[in-house]
A and B are shown apart, each in its own frame.
Chain A
Amino acid sequence: MNAILAVMRRDLLMVMRRKSEVLTALFFFVIVTSLFPLGIGPEPNLLRKIAPGVLWVAALLATMLGLQRMFSADHADGTLEQMAISPTPLIMLVVGKIGAHWLVSGLPLVVVAPILGIQFDLDSSALGVLVGALLLGTPLLSLIGSIGAALTLGVRGGGVLLSLLVLPLYIPALIFGAGAVEAHISGLGAGGHLSLLAAMLALAVFFAPWATTAALRIALE
């Protein structure tokens, strides 16, 4: 547990020293989602209809931005090597890194999402569902993304490969995340979608760190 916290603390400290990384993902999210209402014009019905999809796709892409750096810096300077042979199980350190990634590139999106939702004329209960869905969905994105980041570690042109590998895996999160808000707006209730998102998150919490650890070991060989 201490090791998890130590890794998270270190990663957050480094982000604080170099703020551009956290701000890139956040600004990307804000700008992309703001472009749609500007481009489409003031048509509340249409905007309300596309809001969940646009917000979710932008969130997917924004979390992707930081993924490649998740392990590459540690790999390049030898820290990953030291983590692999430290007495603390590597999986703990991986969990810490995934947690830090979510705090840096997932949580800020959840926080600003309601403000961005207003641009799409979503009412307050729909905004609540949006925040809930993102709160369940963004950790899922970090967890799935960590597998891709570990698998493409040390591969030349890994960035493109990473997107090709990870984006298809994001599809279920996108369908149920955006679907939750749509279902709420159409009066069906978001419960089913949110439960499925939560189930996927629970599954990913168990399996993703394990898969990521295995992939990192292969990268270190």
Chain B
Amino acid sequence: MLSAHGLTCVRGDRRLFSGLDLTVSAGEWLHVRGENGAGKTSLLRLLAGLTQPAEGEIRWCGETINRDDEDYRRNLLFFGHHGALKEDLTALENLEFASAMDGATLTLEAAMRALNRFGLRGREQLPVRVLSAGQKRRVMLARLVTRNAKLWVLDEPFTALDVKAVDLLSALISEHVTAGGMAILTSHQAMPIPGGRVVQL
């Protein structure tokens, strides 16, 4: 379970939000909403442990998270605005490197299956730079399948995706949540996934 207590985020001399409380338990997902510049991305980066809150604390299973918290990081999958993909490497190599960083072993079969699921069959061996923006996004999202993480923190996961991929991603998220996972995401669209709560910034 992830909970945040009295979170305050200060960027420069602007206070984006203060005294924010939130909880996500197994089988729940949070939809973070707000205008552009309201601090959605900042909140997600705080929750991922990339930045430190000005005030307040974030707890994972009752323990305050810190930078060297291996247990928390093992359970966390964070996608930011950037795809974290290497343009010169193929989709498959990108996926393999990502899972090597996670300390997991990814079999070729599992990697291929994940890429196929995201409609990248036949493009596994192409350098990522020749793929379209949406396809790059799909390569990144393939990590949702290969990485076994309990908590998904996704920043605008639907950007650049076509209708089919949006459906696929929504299905994946609901599957993950019904299987006892947790998800926190930002999106400007209404989300067709049941069991969610909205956090308005």
Contact = CB atoms under 8 A, between A and B. Distances in A.
A84 B45 CA distance: 12
Interface stretch (B17-25, B80-88, B168-176, B186-194): B80-88
A2 interface: yes
B156 interface: no
B90 to A, nearest CB: 10
A86 B97 contact: no
A18 B88 CA distance: 8
B42 to A, nearest CB: 11
A87 B82 contact: no
Nearest to B85: A77
Contacts of B13: none
Interface of B: 48-52, 67-68, 70, 73-74, 76, 78, 80-89, 93, 97-98, 100-103, 127
B52 A86 contact: no
Contacts, number: 75
Interface of A: 2-3, 6-7, 10, 13-14, 17-18, 76-79, 81-89, 93, 217, 220-221
Q: Which of A6, A18, A87, A220 has the most CB of B within 10 A?
A: A87
B103 A85 contact: no
Contacts of A88: 101-103
18 contacts: A3-B101, A13-B89, A14-B89, A77-B82, A77-B84, A77-B86, A79-B86, A81-B80, A82-B84, A82-B98, A82-B101, A85-B48, A85-B50, A85-B73, A86-B103, A88-B102, A89-B68, A220-B51
B104 to A, nearest CB: 9
A142 B103 CA distance: 26
Contacts of A77: 82-87
Nearest to A82: B84
A221 B101 contact: no
A83 B88 contact: no
A81 B84 contact: yes
A77 B88 CA distance: 12
A217 B45 CA distance: 13
